[in-house]
Structure 1
């Protein structure tokens, strides 16, 4: 009976020692979290293995993630996967459709993104831009002739119109000359002329009278105005003057006509013609209503594929720039060991229990073997 009790005690003691040893070893992976000191000397095996090697663990995890887990090749394969690309396209189309169908105004969207755009800002920028462009255009062409500026087509078209104007001018003059007012004007001119000719002029005037001279001069002038010679002469004069006007530099007319204020006037008219306030208050849906199908069905998939290709091509350099191993290392270093213990024990709690039980079983077997050896020796 005593022998049986001794065997049971040795098995129980061995099992207890084995189980407690494995349980203690498991706990010593994490605990104590900080080093313990006695008489200013650190107690051995403090802190636990993982807290003691926390920095090394962080560094190794960083290398493992970038070298074996989160590699450029793996991400490139994912980006090239057709099902993944389709998922991204579907998501982008959904988001684009939601945004393009929004009833929020363009001004509200600008405000959301803190873009300093308003009616006053746009009009001010547009006015300054157009004014500068018009002024620069005029400055660059100031020394060029008008013909160079308007081109040969406009030059010859204008010249043809000038020729047609000669007929109109002669007809208007003839209409005036043939009228009573014109006749009276001719009489006044003759009278003024004869008064300046002394005795001979007075004699002619008294002999024929101003009105009689006007009656004779009026038809002669009218006949001349309607003659081919008059038409040809005036047309040639106008053509000659047109050529002179067109060959002069633009600066001549700029000075005479006072065109310095043209850039400002043009810019003001452009700003008035553009309904900036209407555009800003119009909703995103109204702005994009006509192009929504194209954007969602065509443009978005093209952009997704192009961005994916560009990202895949530059992925190695991007990951190198991000220093992911350094990011992982810092995150692991800042991760509380207490929380790490909870995670590991929560995942492997059952396995750790089995290790404890295995230690107890092996301890019990060792106790049984020891009891058998004692019995054999004794």
Structure 2
């Protein structure tokens, strides 16, 4: 046989064997997907390498992701980086702005989250809340003296009010005594007193002559009521009573009416004074308009920074509770082998072709070398 033809044949055979062998080796990474049996005998090298080691691969990938790729330190650096914080702040500001610009009524927003917004129900809930708050607050103050609950300003107002009350009482009594009804009451009181005294009363009336005792006593009473010393006496008396009241614990005054009654009346009064229906019809935009700029420019950035800081502090616990390695392992185990093959080949198809061509090239070179050895030895 012609030596040149022999060398060509051996080069071709070597190239074919090298190329086919490398191509088969690449395919055997994935194929076959399942073991092949001849009777009870399983063919060697079935299934392919990746299907056979899929579970081990999943475990190793899970460990690699948690220990080397998706680490707590790496995530913390990402979270605390200025670029990420700026992105999150901008996104949160945009979302907050959109939310606060909505023309949707408040009751519609609440209904979407499952909250009953009827005026009666809201009022009832408000009454219950105010009653509970009243009893909760009063539990801390019931045994304290009333004076301890008043500020210095209010104590001054109480003193001023007491003086005004004394003046008002004096003025009211004077006006009443000056009236015909008041004078008649005083006269009747004196005459009834004298009549009830029997002989002594008759003797006093006889001494007075034609002018009755009432006509003489009435001006003296009226003069005394209008005197400044009467006003001072009233003030002293009222201040004394007020001081006694101030020393009493709050419970004394509350028990006179009943704590439940006070709490319920207070709660109903407050609830009925609030325009609940009007509030429910107002839009989110109307509610948030007075403080939109403050929320967007100050509150949202502060909330983002605090939220990222909290998340950064909790990152280890969150990752541990999420069991990321198990998630990766489960996903890899559940991954379809044909899809995995398409993905790997789609990414590395050119490199695999080059490996096949390299196998053919090496096979051809080996065939050339073998042909030359055969010719030299033959």
TM-score range, shorter chain: 0.7 to 0.9
Q: Is the 8 A contact 2:15 2:367 kept in 1?
A: yes
Distance in 2, Cα, partners of 1:29 & 1:314: 41
Deviation at 1:360, TM superposition (A): 2.5
Distance in 2, Cα, partners of 1:104 & 1:97: 14
Cα 1:169–1:210 change in 2 (3 A) is farther
Distance in 1, Cα, partners of 2:76 & 2:259: 63
Determine the structure 1 residue equivalent to 2:123. 123
- Map Cα deviations across residues 261-299 of structure 1 (whole Å, 9 max, x no partner): 221110011112233333333222222212222222222
Gaps of 5+ in 2: none
Q: Which deviates the most, 252-261 or 82-91?
A: 252-261
Determine the structure 1 residue equivalent to 2:295. 295
Deviation at 1:342, TM superposition (A): 1.0
Q: Is the 8 A contact 2:11 2:365 kept in 1?
A: yes
Determine the structure 1 residue equivalent to 2:273. 273
Distance in 1, Cα, partners of 2:256 & 2:143: 15
Deviation at 1:217, TM superposition (A): 2.8
Cα 1:41–1:210 change in 2 (3 A) is farther
User: What's the TM-score, normalizing by structure 2?
Assistant: 0.83
Please list, as runs of the form range in 1=range in 2, the aligned pairs for 1:241-320 lying within 5 A after superposition: 241-248=241-248, 250=250, 253-254=253-254, 261-320=261-320
Q: Is the 8 A contact 1:159 1:239 kept in 2?
A: yes
Please list, as runs of the form range in 1=range in 2, the aligned pairs for 1:317-332 lying within 5 A after superposition: 317-332=317-332
Distance in 1, Cα, partners of 2:170 & 2:104: 65
Deviation at 1:228, TM superposition (A): 5.2
Q: Is the 8 A contact 1:184 1:214 kept in 2?
A: no
Q: Secondary structure at the match of 2:93?
A: helix
User: What's the TM-score, normalizing by structure 1?
Assistant: 0.83
Root-mean-square deviation over aligned CA pairs: 3.3
Q: Which deviates the most, 209-218 or 289-298?
A: 209-218
Q: Secondary structure at the match of 1:291?
A: helix
Gaps of 5+ in 1: none
Distance in 1, Cα, partners of 2:16 & 2:106: 76
Deviation at 1:176, TM superposition (A): 4.4
Determine the structure 2 residue equivalent to 1:352. 352
Q: Is the 8 A contact 1:191 1:205 kept in 2?
A: no
Determine the structure 2 residue equivalent to 1:23. 23
Q: Secondary structure at the match of 1:35?
A: coil
Cα 1:42–1:224 change in 2 (3 A) is same
